[in-house]
Amino acid sequence: MEKHRLEAFSDGVIAVLITIMVLELKVPHGLGLAALEPLWPVFLSYVLSFVYIGIYWNNHHHMLQLTHTINGKVLWANLHLLFWLSLVPFTTGWMGENHFGQGPTILYGANLLLCAVAYTVLQACLIRHQGHDSPLARAVSGDVKGKASLLMYLLGLLAAWLVAPWAGLAFFVAVALVWLVPDPRIEKRIAQ
Amino acid sequence: MEKHRLEAFSDGVIAVLITIMVLELKVPHGLGLAALEPLWPVFLSYVLSFVYIGIYWNNHHHMLQLTHTINGKVLWANLHLLFWLSLVPFTTGWMGENHFGQGPTILYGANLLLCAVAYTVLQACLIRHQGHDSPLARAVSGDVKGKASLLMYLLGLLAAWLVAPWAGLAFFVAVALVWLVPDPRIEKRIAQ
Amino acid sequence: MEKHRLEAFSDGVIAVLITIMVLELKVPHGLGLAALEPLWPVFLSYVLSFVYIGIYWNNHHHMLQLTHTINGKVLWANLHLLFWLSLVPFTTGWMGENHFGQGPTILYGANLLLCAVAYTVLQACLIRHQGHDSPLARAVSGDVKGKASLLMYLLGLLAAWLVAPWAGLAFFVAVALVWLVPDPRIEKRIAQ
Amino acid sequence: MEKHRLEAFSDGVIAVLITIMVLELKVPHGLGLAALEPLWPVFLSYVLSFVYIGIYWNNHHHMLQLTHTINGKVLWANLHLLFWLSLVPFTTGWMGENHFGQGPTILYGANLLLCAVAYTVLQACLIRHQGHDSPLARAVSGDVKGKASLLMYLLGLLAAWLVAPWAGLAFFVAVALVWLVPDPRIEKRIAQ
């Protein structure tokens, strides 16, 4: 099966997701710049989630570049990833409106963790479909970065629960910084 | 006529549909995890509809893979399917907000039935356009699964009306499980 | 210049437009089917606008099939068409919520008229760019259907103003029925 | 790396952005045409932002036509541009609902300035990736128009702050008029 429509559909869903998050930034009624003040936490959580969804799009783009054909399992593994991504606007909105309170920050971290798990599952499905000596399999073999991220999310969840929300957020921001650069292992493979 | 823009437009509409459904999950005002409790029915109906729209996208994708050219009738049969799909966020929202009450559950089932009828019509239009010995026609000949689904929706509607909403929902969930795997008849044809 | 991204962008905008209109169908609070009763005018105006936007997409699709290259003027003529189309959810919503009152019905008709004018302008730009003996120019030469539609919209506006909203709507529905079939002149040219 | 999905994703995001702005045009409750009166400033700011986003799409389209491959930095420079564009519906809504008050107009201008800076950065990343004697580099060498626009935005911000909102808006409208024509330098290069 061709991969083209899988890419087009994922692009569409991620484009809508990254854009409707901004609807949570409700137009304030006041006129002065002071009216924007209560929007800071909403804005900051928007920035963080925009970066996260951008990271997922970048890596999805890279991973599919090393993929030539797909199968029915890949379609569902991809929808599974899109499902958890589709909850990001909701968990972002709750965290922002509650000024990074503990409950919402934990839920946000859990959402990020589930997105990462779904991405790992999709990667595994693609590798199983293409064989363990395919370019993708060799590009991500070991996958220290992916496994370390899962651990970081778990530590972040614990920190948000046992220490404070900002401690959890520090972990989530750290993971984002690590992934800001699209996977160089794959970029090398594509260049070959 | 080429099929490319039909696919791109359908991908766009389905991508928007599957994403705006999440707007029904309104950000709660409370801070504790308890504030999420009243959202359970909304969340569950979101999951069910996400799976259903995912199924339609998967099968649309498969069906169009076996299609090479289209005509004006196919364009309208496709818009007709998109119309009933476009009502799913509304019927899902009503069912979720009313905690799977009887009226909303019946309407939701009727919406699913109309989507299935529209899909059957689109399939028939594609087969008529391509001939009865085309790969698509041979892949879906008989179409027991499609016809059985229509029957299941009708039984579900009756059950929701005469027994209880959960009885109808059991049928709707059952149909989703049956279709979770994209049509293997088509997957075989594509592989040939 | 290639036409591919013009098509992709227009598909995206029209896909979003046709889908966000359904957000005007607000989830009712009541539980019985009676709670849906006040939604009838909103639903009917949604159906009419869905058909109209479907018609524009179909004809845009047909027109671009006979187009090979575009230029800067075509980009803006296309954005101009998308602008008037983008107001359709607003005018539809106002007409539906006011149960086809006179003011809203006139505004809705004016919106349809402006969409039709913008489509005619886009068609003229494409023909000027491709030459008067291009396939598109020959396919739509005379363009009785296009000119008659503009007249019908004007008559509909007058009827809504001087007679009653339903009289205007009768014209708008009539134009939709005329265009339900994608332009057969173009379909013939494509087949050649 | 191929540029195709970068284009598709940007088309998706920009298509959603340009369309959800219209949601700020809330359906009025009154029935007469008088009910539309308070919507004028919202409508006018919608028109201005629609034109601006149309300009960005046109120029993005032109710039990418002269681009053949991309890299990881270009992906992020592009997401950075999309981020500032994604705030336009918010700043437009605030300006419109406050009838072009001073604070909102300054924020709107700042948003436009940041979009222009992000576009310049994306252009620089593309040129660095493709080499300084690539078609794109030669097409935009000097880039007087780009630099003049940045200056105009700054002057507009000062004017909105020190003189009056309308003075700032005059600058913002002027920049839009200058860019209404897609970059003819690039159009010439493509034709070659």
E-strand ranges in A37-147 read: none
User: Which chain C positions have a beta carbon within 8 Å of A23's beta carbon?
Assistant: none
Show residues of chain A in contact with C19, CB under 8 Å. Answer: none
> Any idea which residue has 């766009």 for tokens?
B12
Residue written as token pair 């992709």: C8
Identify the closest residue of chain D to C98 by CA–CA distance: D31
Please indicate whether residue D142 or residue B45 has the higher confidence score (pLDDT): B45
**Is the Cβ pair B18, A17 closer than 8 Å?**
no
Per-residue confidence (pLDDT) for residue D66, from 0 to 100: 87
Q: D39: helix, coil or strand?
A: helix
Lowest mean pLDDT among A183-192, B164-173, C4-13, C112-121: A183-192
pLDDT at D192: 63
pLDDT at D51 over 90: yes
Check residue C191 and give its pLDDT. Answer: 66
Q: Which residues of A touch B53 (CB under 8 A)?
A: none
Of B18, B26, B19, whose CA–CA distance to B42 is shortest?
B26
* Residue that is written with structure tokens 């496709």 in the block: B78
Task: State how far the Cα of D18 lies from the Cα of D39, in Å rounded to an integer.
Answer: 18
Q: What is the pLDDT of residue D181?
A: 66
Locate all alpha helices (DSSP H) within C1-101, ordered by sequence: 4-20, 40-65, 72-86, 88-97
**Where would I find the H helices in chain B?**
4-20, 40-65, 72-86, 88-97, 102-130, 135-139, 144-162, 165-179, 184-191
At residue C28, φ and ψ (nearest 5 deg) are -75, 160
- Chain D closest-CA separation from residue B9 CA (Å): 11
Tell me the chain C residues in contact with residue A16 when contact means C-beta distances shorter than 8 Å.
Answer: 16
- DSSP code at position A28: P
Give the mean pLDDT of chain C.
90
Q: Tell me the shortest Cα–Cα distance from B126 to chain D, in angstroms.
A: 27
The pair phi, psi for residue B175, each rounded to 5°, is: -60, -40
Q: Which residues of A touch D82 (CB under 8 A)?
A: 18
CA distance A129 to chain B (A): 14
Helix A72-86 crosses helix B40-65 at what angle (to 10 degrees)? 150
User: pLDDT for C96-113, tens place per residue?
Assistant: 988 899 999 999 999 999
For residues C6-29, give the mean pLDDT.
91
Q: What is the spatial distance between Cα A104 and Cα A96, in angstroms, rounded to a whole number? A: 8
Nearest to D8 among C6, C8, C103 (CB): C8
Closest to A83 (Cβ–Cβ): which among B28, B33, B50?
Answer: B50
Q: Give the pLDDT score at A98.
A: 87
Does the pLDDT at position B180 exceed 90? no
- Quick one: closest CA in A to B23, which residue? A90
Question: D: neighbours with 3+ CB pairs under 8 Å?
Answer: A, B, C
Q: Please tell me the predicted confidence (pLDDT) of residue A179.
A: 87
pLDDT in the model for residue B6? 93
Residue D110 CB-density burial (10 A; 0-12 exposed, 13-18 middle, 19+ buried)? middle
Answer whether residue A30 shows pLDDT above 80.
no
Please tell me which chains touch C, using 3 or more CB pairs under 8 Å as the contact test: A, B, D
Query: Which stretch of A3-12, B63-72, C110-119, D158-167 has the lowest confidence by average pLDDT?
Result: B63-72
| A5: nearest CB among B33, B50, B61 | B61
Which residues of B are less than 8 Å from A9 in CB distance? 11, 14-15, 57, 61
Residue A143, helix vs strand vs coil: coil
Confidence of residue D191 (pLDDT cuts 50, 70, 90): low
Q: How far apart are CA C9 and CA C5, in angstroms?
A: 6
pLDDT at C183: 61
C25 has a pLDDT exceeding 70? yes
Query: Which residue do the tokens 């607003």 mark?
Result: C90
Mean pLDDT of A130-137: 86
For residue A110, the Cα-to-chain-centroid distance in whole angstroms is 12
Q: Is the pLDDT of residue B184 over 70?
A: no
Shortest CA distance to B47 belongs to which of B183, B176, B179? B176
Flag whether pLDDT at C75 surpasses 80: yes
| pLDDT > 90: percent of chain A | 64
Which residues from chain C sit within 8 angstroms of residue B107, using beta carbons? 33, 36
Distance of CA B38 to the CA centre of its chain: 26
State yes or no: pLDDT of A141 exceeds 80. Answer: no
Q: Is the pLDDT of residue B183 over 80?
A: no
Mean pLDDT, residues B100-122 taken together: 95
Report how many Cβ contacts below 8 Å link chain A to chain D: 81
Structure tokens, D83: 């981020």
Nearest to B19 among A5, A17, A93 (CB): A17
Gap between the Cα atoms of D103 and D105, Å rounded: 6
Cβ(A31)–Cβ(D104) below 8 Å: yes
Q: What is the reported pLDDT for C176?
A: 93
Which residues, listed in sequence order, are joined to residue D69 by a DSSP beta bridge?
D2
Best mutation target, A3, A5, A27, to test chain D (most D CBs within 10 A)? A27
Q: Do A22 and D104 touch (CB under 8 A)?
A: no
Which chain C residues are closer than 8 Å to B106 by Cβ?
Answer: 33
- Among B45, B73, B175, CA closest to B130: B73
Residue A186 scores a pLDDT above 90? no
- Phi first, then psi, for residue D69 (nearest 5°) are -130, 160
Question: How far is the C-alpha of A21 from the C-alpha of A37, rounded, in Å?
Answer: 19
Pull the structure tokens for residue A125. Answer: 């499905």
Residue of D19, D29, D184 lying closest to C86 (CB–CB): D19
| Least CB–CB distance from C19: residue in B16, B93, B103 | B16
SS3 C87: coil
Domain ranges of chain B: 4-191
Each residue of B124-133: pLDDT tens digit? 999 999 888 8
- What is the per-residue pLDDT for D105? 95
Average pLDDT over residues B180-192: 67
**ipTM tops the 0.85 cut:** yes
Tell me which chain D residues have a C-beta less than 8 angstroms from the C-beta of A12: 12
**B92 close to B24: Cβ distance less than 8 angstroms:** yes
Q: Is the pLDDT of residue A83 over 90?
A: yes
Least Cα distance to D101 among C189, A35, A71, C113 occurs for A35
What H or E segment, with its residue span, contains residue D160? helix D144-162
The Cα A161–Cα A103 span in angstroms is 8
Instruction: Work out the average pLDDT over C122-133.
Output: 91
Give CA–CA dist B150/B137, Å, rounded: 19
Whether D134 contacts D104, CB under 8 Å: no
Average pLDDT of span B143-148: 86
Neighbours of A150 (CB within 10 A): 15
C12: which chain A residues are within 8 Å (Cβ-Cβ)? 12, 15
Please judge whether C103 and D29 are an interchain contact, meaning their C-beta atoms are less than 8 angstroms apart: no
And the tokens for A144? 């220290």
Q: Residue C70 forms beta bridges with which residues?
A: none
Mutate to test the interface with C, among D7, D9, D19 (most CBs of C within 10 A): D19
Is there a contact between A107 and A94 (Cβ–Cβ < 8 Å)? yes
Q: Which of D86, D97, D102 sits opposite A27 (nearest CB)?
A: D97
| Residue-level pLDDT at B30 | 77
Distance CA C4, CA C64 (A): 10
Closest CA–CA distance from residue B74 to any residue of chain D (Å): 25
Which chain D residue has the Cα nearest residue C83? D50
pLDDT digits (tens, 9 = 90+) for D112-165: 999 999 999 999 999 999 888 888 888 887 778 888 999 999 999 999 999 999
C48-C54-C60 Cα angle (round to 5) = 140
